Amino acid sequence: MVTVFSKNNCIQCKMTKKFLKAHNINFVEHNIDEQPEFINSLKSEGFLATPVVKLPNGNAFSGFRPDELNKLTQAI
């Protein structure tokens, strides 16, 4: 399962979620404005901006990355 860590009023977060929904890729969302308990773990992993997308294979990236998101569509 893909996990998306997002924030309120984050355009890149909205674009990432829109992409995943448009391609019927299931994901779990954690909004760090509403669930601040995730902030420290993301920072400890080196992430300083949202969205952070964690993939089922353990890889992760931040920002709106169509190149990485397109790889998910090919894996379906």
- The per-residue pLDDT for range 10-25, each reduced to its tens digit, is 999 999 999 999 999 9
Q: Supply the pTM of this predicted model.
A: 0.94
Burial class (CB in 10 A: 0-12, 13-18, 19+), 67: exposed
Distance of CA 31 to the CA centre of its chain: 10
pLDDT in tens, 20-57: 999 999 999 999 999 999 999 999 999 999 999 999 89
Question: Rounded CA gap, 41 and 21, in Å?
Answer: 26
Residue with tokens 């448009």: 22
